[in-house]
Amino acid sequence: MKLFGSSGVRGVVNRDVTVDLALKVGMALGRSKKSAVIGRDPRITGEMIEHALISGLVSSGCDVVRAGILTTPTLAYASRGYDCGVMITASHNPAEYTGIKLWNPDGMAFDSKQQEEIESIIDNGDFVAVKWDKVGSITSCYNAVRDHTDMILRNAGRSSMRVVLDCGCGAGGTITPFLLREMGCEVITLNSQLDGHFPARNPEPNEKNLGMLMKVVKELDASLGIAHDGDADRMMVVDEKGSFVTGDELLAIFASRECRSGSKIVVPVDTSMIVDDALPDARIIRTRVGDVYVAEEMKRQRADFGGEPSGSWIFPRISYCPDGIYAAARIVDIVKERPLSELTGDLPCYPTLRGTIACDDPLKEKIMGAVKQKLGPMGNVSDIDGIRVEMDDGWVLVRPSGTEPRIRITAQARENVEGLYEMAETLVKESFG
Ligand code: MG
């Protein structure tokens, strides 16, 4: 049974992700791990899932240390002292969702092979309940947030700028406001009280959900607006004029500071060619969509930077876990030198069109096969995730959604992006035969 997606186990509580499932994940994990640190975002169902996971882990003989409510990057950083880390979060998904994400001591999420091992133990009911006197211990630790904060402070500068911070009532509220103040910033918080109902906004930090942040940055004359998702592995920004900065722009800004000539940068296949144009001396490597695939490829390639335009930024000198809190500290450092609107103003702007076509899951493979045949001769083809064709003046990506019965089309071009998009759309529609 496929339990893990690109972001671990994820779904609606008590429907897809149940106490029974959490117990089994704990029992399966406890078979091979002797110690685990466990944490959760503030979703109201977090503690319920945590207790089930803990019961499974200790019944298999694994010692568990509870780190409480914290962000995913804080938990990933804390994992360095244990055999593994367990984070209960559904990231940017709405409040009724939950999830379980597993971490290695080096801050890398469990890869596909590790996840398949857990799945196979669960499928086969291959659990090992230890003797009564070998059951694992349950203790707590209270220094995970302090340790993570100190690590970031060692790697960040100081600034007195005025920053508006919107944590979306998620786990970011446990660390980012305090970190930025310790850096010297004047911090004005929005939605930074923890509330697992996520009453203020949808946790995904996209332009649609950050209207309040954009307004407040402008009205209070701040230099920067920062927003997190529910577990703060993501971070997005608003410039001093109150305009949302796109993920492609932010990726180019970070990458240009992390890279030297010849550096490798890893991005998913749907990343804008802004990044290629802004970094002519770097080698841009494209992977499947999903921050864990970006991190795995970065490790393989020894890349200097990687990220996803959805707001995940990976700085390998501190961790292979996307760290929205460190990214917040970095953007403060960068904006100190020059206003954000000037930095984005230097970047090229290419029109991009995105859309979807309904397609039942069993049909996806056939359609994609036909699309590949037709698109293939048109340019440079990559089939890492869907079919991406690069042409002289742009690129088009046709990709089956992993979570919905749809095929996604993305087109970007220096000119006539409509023509390119329509060509791809017609091609997909024709493939239904
Ligand atoms: Mg997240």
Q: What is the pLDDT of residues 292-320, one digit of tens each?
A: 899 999 999 999 999 999 999 999 999 99
Whether residue 56 contacts residue 29, with contact meaning beta carbons closer than 8 Å, is answered with: yes
The span from the CA of 282 to the CA of 268, in Å, is 16
C-alpha 291 to ligand 1 mean position (Å): 10
Total domains present in the chain: 3
> For residue range 96-142, what is the model confidence (pLDDT) as tens digits?
999 999 999 999 999 889 999 999 999 999 999 999 999 999 999 99
Beta-sheet pairing, 305-308 with 312-314: antiparallel
**Helix, strand, or coil (residue 186):** strand
Give the span between the Cα atoms of 226 and 262, in whole angstroms: 31
103 CA → ligand 1 middle, Å: 14
Q: Is residue 54 part of a domain?
A: yes
Residue written as tokens 């035969």? 433
Does some domain include residue 1?
Answer: no
Of 91, 159, 256, 319, which one is the catalytic site residue? 91
Last residue in a domain, options 142, 175, 209: 142
Residues 244 and 332 in one domain: yes
Catalogue the long-range contacts made by 364-368 (C-beta closer than 8 Å, 24 or more residues apart).
364/400, 364/407, 366/431, 367/400, 367/407, 367/428, 367/431, 367/432, 368/398, 368/400, 368/407
Cα 214 to ligand 1 centroid, rounded to whole Å = 21
How confident is residue 388, by pLDDT bands cut at 50, 70 and 90? Answer: very high
Q: How far is the CA of 46 from the centre of ligand 1 (A)?
A: 15
Domain boundary residue, one of 326, 345, 364 = 345
User: Which of 295, 324, 345 is a domain's end point?
Assistant: 345
Cα-to-centroid distance, 10 and ligand 1 (Å):
12
Say if residue 199 is exposed, middle or buried (CB neighbours under 10 Å; 0-12, 13-18, 19+): exposed
Domain span at residue 181 reads 146-345
pLDDT at residue 1 greater than cutoff 80: no
At 259, the pLDDT band (50, 70, 90 cuts) reads: confident
Distance of CA 376 from the midpoint of ligand 1 (Å): 35
Which residues make beta-bridge pairs with 241?
none
Sign of torsion over alpha carbons 127, 132, 134, 137: positive
Does residue 223 sit in the same domain as residue 103?
Answer: no
- How far apart, in whole angstroms, are the C-alpha atoms of residue 302 and residue 407? 32
Separation between Cα atoms, residue 123 and residue 302, nearest integer Å = 35
* Same domain, residue pair 163 and 132: no
Is 140 marked active-site?
A: no
Among 405, 229, 292, 202, which residue's Cα sits nearest to residue 8? 292
pTM of this structure: 0.93
pLDDT at 433 exceeding the cut of 80? no
Q: Are residues 157 and 243 in the same domain?
A: yes
> Does residue 240 sit in the same domain as residue 365?
no
Question: Tens digit of pLDDT for each residue in 134-180?
Answer: 999 999 999 999 999 999 999 999 999 999 999 999 999 999 999 99
Judged against a pLDDT cut of 80, whether residue 6 lies above it is answered with no
Q: How far is the CA of 228 from the centre of ligand 1 (A)?
A: 8
d(CA 49, CA 9): 12
